[in-house]
Amino acid sequence: MSGVATAISVMVAAGTLMAGAIVIGEAGVMSQRAAGAADAAALAAADTVTGVIPGDPCARAGDVAAANGAVVDSCVVDGAIASVTVHVRGGVLTAAARARAGPPE
C-alpha cells in the first residue's frame, strides 16, 4: 500500500507544478498582450493628435486597445505626446501596461 500512496503523492505534486507553470505562462502572455495594446493605442492617439488620423485621440486609443483585447484605463494628451494605460483580463488574472508616444524630438 505504501507504494500506491507514494505514486499518488508524486502524481498530485506533478499536477500542482504543471498547473502553476500554466498560470505563470499565461501571466507572461497577458503581460505581452497588454504591452502591445498599450503601444498601439498610444501610437494611434499620437497620430490623431498630429492630424495623421482624424478623430478624438483618446477615443481612437480606446478603439485600438479594444481591437487588441484591452481596455483603456487612462489616456492623457499633453501637447503632441499621448500617454495611455490599458489592462487585459484573462480568467482570474489581469495585466496592465503603460505607453507614451509622440513625434520624435
Q: Give 34-75 pLDDT, tens digit per residue.
A: 999 999 999 999 999 998 889 999 999 999 999 999 999 999
Distances (CA, A) of 90 to 32, 69, 104: 13, 10, 35
Are 92 and 27 spatial neighbours (Cβ–Cβ below 8 Å)?
no
Whether residue 105 has pLDDT greater than 60: yes
Q: Residue range 71-100: average pLDDT? A: 93
pLDDT attached to residue 88: 95
Instruction: Name the nearest CA neighbour of 43 among 71, 84, 86.
Output: 84
CA distance 88 to 66: 10
Torsions phi, psi of 90, nearest 5?
-150, 105
Least confident of 11-15, 40-44, 72-76, 94-98: 11-15
Sheet containing strand 93-101, strands side by side: 71-78, 81-90, 93-101
Q: What mean pLDDT comes out for the span 1-11?
A: 77
Quote the Cα angle for 52-60-43, to 5°.
60
